[in-house]
Amino acid sequence: MIFVKRLTIAIALCAIVGAAVAAQVDAPLASNAYITRHHLDWAWASPLPASSGLDLSYQSQFGWRLPTAAELADAPLASDFLFAGANVPLGGTDPMSGAYFSAINGQLAGAAACAAPYFSNSYSNCDWQDGQGQPFGPWAGAPGATGYSEQLVVRAVPEADAYAMLLAGLGLVGALARRTRRLV
C-alpha cells in the first residue's frame, strides 16, 4: 500500500514538473505572430538562444523547428516582423498570448510579431534591441551570436503546386471510390 502511495505521489510530481516546462501557450501559433519569407514561416520565439528553455514539443507538430545555418544566413531582419495587424502592439501586449516587446526604440510605432509564449515557459517577450543586432549580435545560431541573441524558429511553407497535387490526389481517390462502389 505504501508503494502505491509513493508511486502515485511520484507520478503527480512528474505531471506537475512536466507541466511547468511546457510552453505558456499550447495552441497553434496565431497567423499574425509570424512572417513568411522565401518559402519559410519565421517566428521570433525567444529573447535567448534555444538552450535557454525553448520548447518545441507542441509546436513541432505544426512543422516548427530550429533554423539551419544556411537558413539563418538569409534570416529576416527585426524590422521585417513589423507589419499592420501583427499580434503585439509596440508598447503593449498581445491579448491572446501575453507576448510583448522589451527594449523598444521610442520612435517605433505600429505592431510587430512576437511568438515567445508559444515556445517558452519562462519568457513572454522578444527584445527589440537584441533583434536589431545591438548590442548583443545576430540571431541565435548565426555566426557571431552570443548567449543573449534572440531565437528564431522556422517551418516550410507548402508550395501552391503541392496543394494542387493534394487536390488532384483527393479527386483521384474519390473517383476510384465511386467506381469501386458501382462495381460492387
Residue among 111, 118, 144, 109 at smallest CA distance from 130? 144
Mean pLDDT value across residues 79-88: 93
pLDDT of residue 146: 86
pLDDT of residue 17: 37
Strands 100-102 and 125-127 turn out to be parallel
DSSP output for 80-140: GGB-TT-SEETTSB-TTT--EEES--TT--SEE---HHHHBSS--EEEHHHHTT-SS-SST
- Mean per-residue pLDDT of the chain: 80
Q: How far apart are CA 176 and CA 118, in angstroms?
A: 42
pLDDT of residue 110: 87
Residues 6+ apart with CB under 8 A from 160: none
Give the cell for residue 167.
Answer: 487536390
Q: What is the pTM of this model?
A: 0.73
For 65, the 3-state DSSP assignment is: strand
88 versus 130: which is more confidently predicted? 88
pLDDT of residue 13: 36
Local confidence band at 38 (pLDDT 50, 70, 90 cut-offs): confident
Per-domain boundaries in the chain:
24-173
pLDDT tens per residue across span 91-119: 899 999 999 998 776 656 789 999 999 99
At residue 10, does pLDDT exceed 50?
Answer: no
Report the Cα–Cα distance between both ends of the chain, in Å, rounded: 60
Q: Are 83 and 113 in contact (CB under 8 A)?
A: yes
pLDDT of residue 169: 67
pLDDT tens per residue across span 114-151: 999 999 999 999 988 777 766 557 899 998 888 889 99
Q: How far apart are CA 147 and CA 136, in angstroms?
A: 8
pLDDT tens per residue across span 13-36: 333 334 445 678 889 999 999 999
From residue 137, alpha-carbon distances to 66, 76, 140, 176 in Å are 18, 14, 9, 57
pLDDT of residue 167: 63
